[in-house]
Each structure stands twice: as C-alpha cells, then as structure tokens.
A = this chain, B = another copy of it.
C-alpha cells in the first residue's frame, strides 16, 4: 500500500519557487500536477492542444491574454480556466504567485523543447 501524500502548505511552498515562469510541482492527483509559479512581465504565447489549464491567483494580479477573445484580468483569489487549444499568455505588471493544475508533463511553454523541466519541491 502506497503511503498517502503529505499535507502541503501552499503558502510555505512558494518560498521554494525562486525563478520566474518556472512552475514547481507540489502535489499530484488523478495524473494531474498541482504547480506553483512566480510570474512577472510577459510570458510567451503558447497553446496546450490537449488540456484545459486551471489558473488560481494566490498573490498579485495577472492578465490572461488570449488570441481569439478578450483578455481576462485576475486578482488574488480568482480562478480561471484556459480551455484546451486556446493560445494564451499571462502578462504580469507586478510579481504574482500563481497556482496551476494540469496533467503531469504538460510543457509550460506548450513545447517540450523550450519548457521548464518538471521538478517537485
């Protein structure tokens, strides 16, 4: 019998998220990874063809720009789902802390060649 995952304190885990736009994995369920990321500035336009992506803003604010529809402005406490196949990029004026949920091994740039390597903290 596998041991259950430990309780994970999200606020504390952000202390281990040091680089911008480099999501770190903190939990797994049903093949999905819960990831924490720190964002500032403009990330690359990208698409996840096969999966929706859940964003939940923990601190700060972010604008999710999408090619085919109006941008959505999110502040701390807001949750938003970018549907599969929708090209998007987060744009952050001040630094923000984001929680993401998506399948394990989803490349953060939409492209394995340029993606941040998966790393648990």
Contacts and interface: CB of A to CB of B under 8 A. Distances in A.
Contacts of A54: 27, 29, 34
Contacts of A4: 66, 69, 72, 80-83, 86
A58 to B, nearest CB: 10
A80 to B, nearest CB: 5
Interface string A1-44: 11111111111100000000000001111101010000000000
A79 interface: yes
Contact of A30 (B2, B9, B51): B51
Copies in the complex: 2
A2 to B, nearest CB: 7
Interface residues of A, number: 40
Contacts of A66: 4
Contacts of A29: 52-54, 81, 101
Nearest to A69: B4
B79 A27 contact: yes
Interface of A: 1-12, 26-30, 32, 34, 51-54, 56, 66, 68-69, 72-74, 77-83, 86, 101, 103
